[in-house]
Amino acid sequence: MSGIAQFRTVVLDTPDPKGLAEFYSRLLGWPITSAEDDWVVVSDGGAPKRLAFQLAPDLRPSTWPDPERPQQIHLDLLVSDLDEAEKQVLELGAVKHEHQPDEKDDDFRVFLDPAGHPFCLCLS
């Protein structure tokens, strides 16, 4: 199926583009490929595996699951060992979200990156 466009980048707002790019660079093992004061990119070589971080000094982080400020977007990231991956992302500066909707099956866990964006580590 041919679409109108091709996917290029997921862009996350943050008050600290360089800091958040460094977090995701270490998390995903992708180098920082472009850096300016207000725009930083990490990539494994190009679209579609590319994340960008855009300066948003007044960002108000999500309060999910409280609907006052919903998560709006989150990333699902595959890992082979949830316990080991959790330990590593916490060392990078992530925070385990208090709301864990999948505690019964434990095949994914919800975290917040340093700017407060939710992301999930999912068993591969």
Distance CA 32, CA 26 (A): 10
Indicate the pTM of the whole model. Answer: 0.87
Q: Which two tokens stand for residue 51?
A: 């994340």
pLDDT digits (tens, 9 = 90+) for 78-95: 999 999 999 999 999 999
Please determine, for residue 8, whether its predicted confidence score (pLDDT) is greater than 90: no
State the greatest distance between any 2 C-alpha atoms of the chain, in Å, as a whole number. 43
Q: Which helix (H) or strand (E) holds 117?
A: none
